[in-house]
Structure formats: structure tokens, C-alpha cells
Chain A
């Protein structure tokens, strides 16, 4: 058996983390993207920049600040403690919070592009056909932005699977709780278990390749508004 029990639990944990993160990101990212796509507010630039920060910052920087703010003396830490949730660092929940921040731009940007591409016209048409704002969003925007949602889901999931720095900083390295595949590979390499590392690392390469292949070949011609 090339994979140990610890390897399998790391894989399972990684999938759990990526799924939960992606679901949360779609819920949080959709309104943020919609706002960014439609607003004329001066805050558009700053908010867009903050969302995009994880693209350029080293994961250690994000991990560090999350650690500080979620720690016993940080503002988020105070809130979670007063709610009786304890502190988030070195827990699975903390890992989810960190991943949401870290993968945010990979969900928000495709959605924002998709929303912007729809433009005003279909919404105006729907309004003249008596559709209320919510109705317009669900019956016009969501179907027309479907390619954007597919891209956002795939990228958000894949990017969370592939994170390492943030996980190590705020998750520590606790088997079954915060030890994801990328950390497990790191451990194997540290312990000179190259064969074990190969199985996981190779698996990641194959996984990532097929995810991206599926994504790029699903991008068919999208008809403009008729």
C-alpha cells in the first residue's frame, strides 16, 4: 500500500477543507463580486485591491496576520472567545477562515468579470418585463454568469487544495485536524520519505492537471445577448 493511514486522512481533510471553503466563498464572494461589478463608489478600488492582496503577498504574511488577529489577544480572537468558540488558530475552523481569505481572489475575479460582461441591458429588459431586483438576479444574472461560476468554483477549490504556507502558519501540523496533503508532503520530505512524497506529490500534479484541463475545455463559445 503506497499511501499510509496518515496520508489518506490528509487527503480526506484536504478535500473537506476545499469543499467547505469553496461553498463559503461562493456565498460570500457572489455579493462582493456583484457589488464590485456594479458599484460606482470610490471604495471599489480599495475593496478590489484588498480582495486581490493574496495574489501578491507571501502566504506567510497572510498567515502571520491571521494568526495574530485570531489569537487570544487579537480582535477576532476576542469575538470568538466571547462567543464561547475558543480561539481559531490550530483548529480546522481556523484553517477554513484562512483559506477563505487566501482563495478569495480566485472566486471573486471570475465572478466579477462574468457580472461585468452581462452589462445593464439584460437587467433593464427584465425590469421592463416586471421582474423585481431579486428576481432579475436569480433568473437573468445567475444563468448568464454560469461560466463565471464554474470557473470560480474550480479555481477556488483547486487553489485551496494547493495552499501550503497559510495552512502551516495558522493550522500548525496536527494530524486529522489541520494536516493537509501539502503539509503531509512537506513532512515526508523532511523525513527523507521520498517514495511516500512522490505518491502524494504526483497525485497533486495529476489532480491539478485534470482540473485545469476540464476547465479550459469547458469554455465553449458563449453567445452574446441575442
Chain B
């Protein structure tokens, strides 16, 4: 390539806001080998089971782990390149990192924990960011407390605020909810959703929880044994059939819907999405609000005709687009298209044969339950 062209191309790459990461790390018995181009905005979930390499990947991005071979470019800035000997140490990378346990400095009050990073990032005078973090994470009343006087959820919120207040250009979150019990999780999830809505920097979010990913992510990278097995927009990626078996036992899709109607007589709410609608128990959200929900493949059954006289009210006309092996030999996964919205159904191989479920066939999908996210 013409050397004179390269800066121009780099500029172009910077203009389109992308994270390009290539890492190879060898440990005894484990190799992480990833080559990723991720969107430079929105929440990208690094998703996989423990031992899949997702945390190692995040640590490489942060420079906490030094990949033997690596190249990392964040929205046009080169942070690491083994080939040319570039390695920005962690403290020179403008990133925020939220650890699994909040890891607040125990010898500093909440306020001084927050100021620790702000001072070093030259952001101490940024009152607006301060107010925004206080409001976004609801920690204004905790400032004078010491970390050992906080609950787990409060600590994690302070940890997130501390990372945000350094004015990062990239936010890294390593299973920020994993160390919390269910109650604390549901206490902190709304804050994370607000972050998702209000932050304009890219977020890499490590998680092994499908629900968390479905709720927070825009993009997904599926990791398995140190390798990327799938990546792409959340809705498309979760509806893929060619994923390793490990992911199919919990297979399902995420659907973005709009609150379309409240039926106060029956206490139901209708959610519309391209290709159909579902009725769910009455939701508090106002009409027009966006709501994500997850449909597990095991909660979708198929019928050749529109079933009358069933208690299942959520019926959608669908087209079979693919059939694949599921996690057990007794089941198959069927990929469906409900006029633009992908769906997955996990049915027995016997039913599939009896009903002659095959690509191109028009059927009716019955959705037993949906899991609302948020």
C-alpha cells in the first residue's frame, strides 16, 4: 500500500468510530486469539461462559494484561501495536474500568475515591460531570461515607461513577453485577440502563448472563475457549442457529417493542413489534415507550394452522427459515421469520418430522411466555 495513503485511511477509520482489537495471549492450557472490529458507540457485550476468555480480552484492552501479540485502535487512536512496539501503559489509556467487585480504596471516603481519578484525569473542575454522575447513579448522599459503610450495590454504583468521572473515551465493565445478589442486581440494573441511554462513549460489557446481555447490549461478541464464535447486532446474533451447543441450551431472541395499548379491564398490555404483537400482564410504562423482551426458544411451539380454543393467546404467522441441531439429540432448533422479526423455537425432532417442519414452510408460532427486560 502507498505509505502516503495510510494516514488518510487511519483518519477515515477514526471518522467511522470503531474499536479494532487483535490479541493473542498464550497461557498454559489456554489461548486467547481474537480479532475484532467493534462499533465505536453503544454497548457491546463480551458474552461467554467462565473460562471463555472474555475477562482476559477486557484486561488486554485495558493494558492490565499484556498480549504477546496485539494491536488495539480505539476510534482512530493507536493504543497498542506489538509490531511497531507501541504499548500505552494502563494509566495513560483514557478508559474507565469497573471491576467485578467495586474495589473502592478502603482508606478513602466515597468523595475522595471519586476525586482520585478525577484529579489525575484533570477533570476535578468539571462540576457538570459531577452533578450528572451524582444524579445518574444516585450517590449524592453517600459522599462522606467510608467504603465499608456501603452496601454492595452502593459500592458498585460508586465504582461506576468513579470510572465515569475520569472522562473516559471507552468504558470497560467486567461483570459489574456478578458479585451482587438478585435484589442488589435489580437495584443497579436501572442505573446501567440509564447509562446505556445517556452515555455517548463505547462500552465493553463482560457478562455470562444472557438476561443482562439482552437487557443492556446493542452488540454481542460470543466467546468460547478463547475464540470469537459469533458477533454482530444483539437481535441478529442471538437468533443465529450456528452457535456452539453451549449457547443453544439457553437459546432465544430479543425483540424490541413499543407499548401500544393498555387493556385495563383484563390488566393486559399490548406490545407491538415489526411482524406482530404480544399481550403481556399490565405494564407500568406509558404508551409509546420502548420495551425489550426476550423469548426463549423453549417457550415457542409451532402449529400448522391457527389454533383456536387454546389458552395461549400470543400467536404469530411465521416462515421457517432454517432448522438445526439443538443441545440434545431429541430436539431441533427452528429459526423463524415473523415478517422481519427473527424467532427461535426449540421443538422435539419427532414433532418436527410429524409436522414436516422445513425451510420455506408457513406456520403459526405460539409464544407461551415472554421475559420482559426492564
Contacts and interface: CB of A to CB of B under 8 A. Distances in A.
Interface stretch (A126-134, A156-164, A202-210): A126-134
B164 to A, nearest CB: 11
A128 B163 contact: yes
**Most chain B CB inside 10 Å of its own CB: which residue of A122, A129, A135:** A129
Interface string A110-137: 0000000000011011111111110100
Interface stretch (A83-91, A97-105, A139-147, A174-182): A139-147
Interface stretch (A16-24, A28-36, A60-68, A218-226): A218-226
A143 B146 CA distance: 15
Contacts of B166: 129-130
- A interface, over-half SS: helix
Contacts of A122: 103, 105
B45 to A, nearest CB: 20
B104 A121 contact: no
B89 A127 contact: yes
B192 interface: no
Given A121-B99, A127-B64, A226-B155, A132 B91 contact: yes
B107 A125 contact: no
Nearest to A146: B107
Interface string B89-117: 11110011101011111110000000011
A91 B101 CA distance: 55
A128 B104 contact: no
A226 B147 contact: yes
A135 B106 contact: no
Size band of the B side of the interface?
20 to 34
B259 interface: no
Given A121-B99, A139-B116, A226-B147, A127 B91 contact: yes
Interface string A197-215: 0000000000000000000
Contacts of B281: none
B326 to A, nearest CB: 40
Nearest to B62: A128
**Most chain A CB inside 10 Å of its own CB: which residue of B64, B89, B150:** B64
Contacts of A125: 97, 99, 103, 105
A226 B116 contact: no
A127 B163 CA distance: 11
B162 interface: yes
B295 to A, nearest CB: 37
A131 B116 CA distance: 9
Interface string B11-49: 000000000000000000000000000000000000000
Contacts of B187: none
A124 B102 contact: no
Contacts of B91: 126-133, 135
A144 B63 CA distance: 24
Given A125-B105, A127-B91, A140-B105, A226 B117 contact: no
Which are the 7 A-B pairs with shortest beta-carbon distances? A226-B147, A129-B117, A130-B120, A128-B97, A127-B90, A226-B104, A223-B148
Interface of A: 121-122, 124-133, 135, 139-140, 143-144, 223-226
Given A139-B116, A223-B147, 9 more contacts: A124-B64, A125-B97, A126-B91, A126-B105, A128-B91, A129-B116, A143-B107, A144-B106, A225-B101
